[in-house]
Chain A
């Protein structure tokens, strides 16, 4: 059982899971510069799951040691061991008091909510860009078809869509390269909703 947050190693300390348990339950009851921070003084920033884990393991480990000790002890030792074990188990159970950080739980939950919002926002923007592309492409295809029906010679069509603010893109302007046709312009205005002033015609020589 690794727990680097328990504190620095001291010479001669008991290692392993039960050493960790010892430190977690009793470590902080010692004073002085060699004090090992434990559950009684978890410090700020200690994560809730680590606190919960150490608390439960401390209770179970204490009870386990107590049980094995009672089984191995003789008749005379059992009374003393019973009292000591009882106090140790109570101390382990009460050790979590004061270490619970409810704000820490909120921060933990908020982290996932923010991540989810970022993912959803990015996907929404990408989908909107895809939809814009589809609409512009289809409007261009429509203008090409209409030009063909009217016998207008076009060289290039570019449609630009705009966000409506109500949840969709709509075609707002277009650039047409070829011989200008009033009939085609009126058809674009009537059927695609692009006003005449937003339609830009240019010939092959750039005029």
Chain B
């Protein structure tokens, strides 16, 4: 089901866009928008899903079905797996605590009880962490790919409706920031998250200054994501504001010129423009709604799993704090923080793409 996440999302996108736009089709062919390319890009499994769908299914139905299928299965599996990891980690902490009580005079050197506890926790949490990090990283990549396919089509629709400057400016800003975040996540943020865990492991096992490095890395990742998301929102808002006024002025000029024509032909010209705009407006709205459904379909599963694992490990850290040595419980909290950092990254990418889609869908034209 996870492998069909993007194909299913694209199927929902294409299905919704084509069905709702088909009713408002004006003369001419909208193939130049690139909707055919979206269909061709779907893998075979997705085309099967598309062909099997009832033609009257609405966006709300698609969303509800996706939520129940993705969340229903994903939540149960993730909860069970997270609970198992948290229980294992808690058991290791309790053993570590008991061992610590039985060997109170451990000297000033390396605390082998701590070391053993931290090693056991790292071993039990490592497999699940790596798998989930891979899934979340794949989701971030899929979101970037989705944006690469969807945003140019929406920019084309916006430009065709008269919002030439604002449509182009929004696409340029969205594509730039999404690409930057996608590249940063793969080349910087994900390695930093692993480095954060390594530093936390070093701090818990050996003490020393590695904890400071861990805090530096966590702070760096959070600030980088906040700054990127904020910069994107501000830049997108600014270019939209400036470019929209230019488009509005151009449209007003055209309407004024049309009004100087003879009544019959002037009415025809205005009507032709309105016909095209209404058809494209429906497509733009449908693409926007379907785009949001697609974003949710891609990231909902990984986000739910990251949330559940982070929450369960934080609970385990709190419980372990009552029995285990402090470094051990802090390390468990660090693993939970690692999940949270990955969740922040996935959420930032999804939020930016959603904002880009909404902004493109709301681009006023005509």
A residues near B, CB below 8 A? 1, 17, 49-50, 52-53, 56-57, 60-61, 63-64, 66-68, 70-72, 108-109, 112-113, 115-117, 119-124, 126-127, 129-131, 133-135, 137-139, 142, 164, 166-171, 190-193
Contacts and interface: CB of A to CB of B under 8 A. Distances in A.
Interface string B196-223: 0011001100111111110011001000
A70 B168 CA distance: 54
A71 B210 contact: yes
Given A56-B188, A112-B172, A126-B32, A164 B257 contact: yes
Given A72-B208, A109-B172, 5 more contacts: A67-B212, A116-B175, A117-B168, A130-B27, A192-B262
Contacts of A116: 155, 167-169, 171-172, 175
**Which of A72, A134, A169 has the most C-beta atoms of chain B within 10 angstroms of its own C-beta?**
A134
Interface of B: 26-28, 32-33, 152, 155-161, 164-165, 167-169, 171-173, 175-176, 179-180, 183-184, 187-188, 191-192, 195, 198-199, 202-203, 206-213, 216-217, 220, 250, 253-254, 257-258, 261-262, 264-265, 268-269, 271-273, 275-276, 280
A70 B207 CA distance: 9
Contact of B167 (A61, A63, A70, A120): A120
Q: Name the prevailing secondary structure of the A interface residues.
A: helix
Contacts of A169: 269, 272
A168 B155 contact: no
17 contacts: A57-B195, A60-B192, A60-B217, A63-B213, A64-B210, A67-B203, A72-B208, A116-B175, A120-B156, A121-B159, A126-B32, A127-B276, A139-B265, A166-B254, A167-B250, A192-B265, A193-B265
A135 B269 contact: yes
A138 B271 contact: yes
Given A67-B210, A120-B167, A168 B269 contact: yes
B257 A64 contact: no
A197 B297 CA distance: 61
Contact of B195 (A60, A117, A119): A60
Contacts of A127: 159-161, 276, 280
B276 A130 contact: yes
Contact of B176 (A53, A112, A191): A112
A193 B268 contact: no
A71 B208 contact: yes
Given A119-B152, A131-B276, A67 B202 contact: yes
Contacts of A52: 188
Contact of A49 (B165, B183, B208, B217): B183
Nearest to B211: A67
Nearest to B205: A71
A134 B275 contact: yes
B206 A191 contact: no
A75 B43 CA distance: 62
Contacts, number: 180
Given A112-B175, A119-B159, A57 B191 contact: yes
**Which of B158, B168, B211 has the most C-beta atoms of chain A within 10 angstroms of its own C-beta?**
B168
B265 A191 contact: yes
Nearest to A69: B208
Contacts of B187: 49-50, 53
A64 B213 contact: yes
B56 to A, nearest CB: 28
A115 B191 contact: no
B253 A191 contact: no
Contacts of B220: 56, 60
Contacts of A137: 27
Contacts of A164: 257
Given A57-B192, A164-B257, A67 B213 contact: yes
A126 B160 contact: yes
Contact of A123 (B155, B165, B257): B155
Contacts of B253: 166-167
A57 B268 contact: no
A142 B168 CA distance: 37
Contacts of B183: 49
**Which of B167, B272, B280 has the most C-beta atoms of chain A within 10 angstroms of its own C-beta?**
B272
A87 to B, nearest CB: 16
A170 B268 CA distance: 9
B172 A113 contact: yes
Given A117-B168, A137-B27, A68 B208 contact: yes
A61 B250 contact: no
B156 A122 contact: yes
Contacts of B184: 49, 53
Contacts of A68: 202, 206, 208, 210
Q: Nearest 4 pairs between A and B by C-beta? A: A71-B208, A167-B254, A127-B160, A71-B206
Nearest to A50: B187
B208 A191 contact: no
Contacts of B26: 130, 134
A81 B210 CA distance: 14
B168 A119 contact: yes
A191 B268 CA distance: 11
Contacts of B158: 120, 123
**Which of A50, A122, A135, A167 has the most C-beta atoms of chain B within 10 angstroms of its own C-beta?**
A167
